[in-house]
Amino acid sequence: MNQPLVRSPHDLDGPDRSAPVRPGRRGLILRSAIGGILAALAGLAAGSVAAALLGTRQTPVVAIGSAFIDRVPPWLKDLAISLFGTNDKTALRIGILTVLLAFAALGGYLAVRRYWVGAAVVIVLAGVAVIAAATRPDTGQTGFVPSLVAGAVALIILRMFATRLSGLLDQPDDAVSRRGFLQLTAGVALGTVAVGALGRVVGGRRSAVTDARAALQLPVPPSLDPPAGVQAAGATPWATPNDDFYRIDTALSVPLIMPADWKLRIHGMVEREISLSFEDLLKRSVVHKWVTLTCVSNEVGGDLIGNALWSGVLLKDLLTEAGPAKDADAIQSTSKDGFTAGTPLSTLLDDRQSMLAFAMNGQPLPVEHGFPVRIVVPGLYGYVSATKWLVDIEVTRFDQFEAYWTPRGWSELGPIKLSSRIDVPRSKASAGQVTVAGVAWDQHVGVSKVEVRVDGGPWQQAELATDASIDTWRQWHWTWDAPRGNHVLQVRAFDAQGNPQIESQAPPAPNGSTGLHSVDIKVG
């Protein structure tokens, strides 16, 4: 009754523990682990089909991953971004799958000896996924079902493996049991692949949304070309193509919204609630504006920044129509998947042209960038303003709510900090005339000067490219007569009032990194 759970009946008979594991036993361990892993994979495949049929994104892996993302501490999020960049989501999926399968292997090993002990491992794993899915804000009523289905299928298959393999416990070399295991393995593997393929066919929601996106006719900007003179030779392209635009969000699987189903409610401390469909939005007067978006998680010298031509409707117009109460000071914007941002009302009502954007560089918003509608506020980090897959705006007061990142260690307010970056050279150069170039930004304040220095020497003024507006980044370049050897290049910017960039180093949390970008250059 009280023997350790992992012991087999052999152990009870008192085998010599110091004896080398018999080949038959090692084979049993391997087979039982394979059984556990296949049971889990079959469950996951069934869960994906269930998710596709129900039209939910909450497969077991997505459910666990999303719950994980909501709970990870800021330092770990930053570490993930710096290790994996925009691939952090793929890394998380692989990580979760690896952990799940490792536990499943253990479950398989245990189940052969005592089915219910192995089954308990599967039940706990499925239970975690069910709870994770059920506590998501965006799962609706059925989000937990795929995890439930996955758990049930995994249990059934685990039972089949346990039954087949238990024969090998007493007779490790029993040919009939071995053949039974092989047949079951082949059957389950084939079944899993077939069910997985079915899931792909059924999961047509993504293609329905991409088709609807492709079919949209949106107001076209007068020109997609950057204003004249904004590009400095050698620097990053001033206009960031949609495919190269950084992506940061908590959505492990992107919300899929059909434009025809999209509705936005503007409510709360207003005189008149407004409800808008996508069609209503397009009927309103449209603005096109270049705005540089920046992520608060951007490290000094990092690339979580991009500049695009956004098209949309002014929030100022909509909010004025709704009539905010005098003592309201914020909006809380909510995404389809439950993400929220808190934005000062003043930044939406002033002249900076904050907007509900539906297009990016003349294209409907890419699905990953918030299709069909997101917010763009010049001058604020994305986490306090740029809600993608927007579905709700509540006019309120900062003392009435906490947005998504606030209880997770980030400041309530997130104005972008003056910063600058060296784009070229990054590591090597040939002796002689070298173009040093990069970008500087201080959205909605403006950049007035950029300086570069070599090896801690005197600051030298760089040449600034044309300024498109105070809401976009500004490019600069400087010609360096580079001598051979190892050198350190540094850059610093000044804002429109002539204030220099903060030189002391600070990490991204809680409200944006500071410090000067330095690069080590080997001149040969």
Task: Catalog residues that contact Mo ion under the rule CB under 5 A.
Answer: 248, 295-296, 382-383
Cβ of residue 129: shortest distance to ligand MTE, in angstroms? 21
Q: For residues 361 and 223, what is the distance between their CA atoms, to the nearest angstrom?
A: 9
Q: Which lies closer to Mo ion via its Cβ, residue 178 or residue 369?
A: 369
Q: Does 342 bind ligand MTE (CB under 6 A)?
A: no
Binding ligand MTE (rule: CB under 6 A), the pick from 161, 181, 245, 310 is 245
- Rounded Cα distance, 353 and 312, in Å: 10
Q: State yes or no: residue 88 binds ligand MTE (CB under 6 A).
A: no
For residues 48 and 361, which CB has a smaller minimum distance to ligand MTE in the complex?
Answer: 361
Q: Does 262 bind ligand MTE (CB under 6 A)?
A: no
Query: How many helices and strands, by DSSP H and E, does the chain display?
Result: 12, 19
Q: Is 388 in the site for ligand MTE (CB under 6 A)?
A: yes
Is residue 392 near ligand MTE by the rule CB under 6 A? no
Strand order of the β-sheet with 330-335 is 274-277, 263-268, 390-396, 330-335, 340-344
Q: Which residue has the tokens 């297009």?
A: 359
Query: How far is Cα 417 from Cα 186, in angstroms, rounded to an integer?
Result: 58
The piece of 22-30, 176-184, 240-248, 392-400 that touches ligand MTE (CB under 6 A) is: 240-248
Sole residue written with tokens 């007035």: 448
- Out of 286, 293, 393, 447, the only residue in the binding site for ligand MTE (CB under 6 A) is 293
Q: What CA–CA distance (Å, rounded) separates 46 from 149? A: 7
In sequence order, the β-bridge partners of residue 375 are 356
Query: Using CB under 6 A, which of 118, 364, 382, 415 touches ligand MTE?
Result: 382
User: Among 130, 155, 291, 295, which residue interacts with ligand MTE (rule: CB under 6 A)?
Assistant: 295
388 binds, among ligand MTE, Mo ion, none (CB under 5 to 8 A by kind): ligand MTE
Count of CB atoms situated within 10 Å of the CB of 384: 28
- Could you tell me which residues are beta bridge partners of residue 388? none
Using alpha carbons, list the distances in angstroms from residue 448 to 462, 463, 495, 497: 11, 11, 5, 8
Q: Is 249 in the site for ligand MTE (CB under 6 A)?
A: yes
Q: For ligand MTE, which is the closer residue by CB, 295 or 330? A: 295
Residue 249's binding partner out of ligand MTE, Mo ion, none, with CB under 5 to 8 Å set by partner kind? ligand MTE
- The verdict on 318 binding ligand MTE (CB under 6 A) reads no
Answer for the pair 394, 268: CB distance below 8 angstroms, yes or no. yes
Pairing of strands 263-268, 390-396: parallel
Chain residues in the site for ligand MTE (CB under 6 A): 245-251, 293, 295, 335, 337, 339, 369, 382-383, 386-389
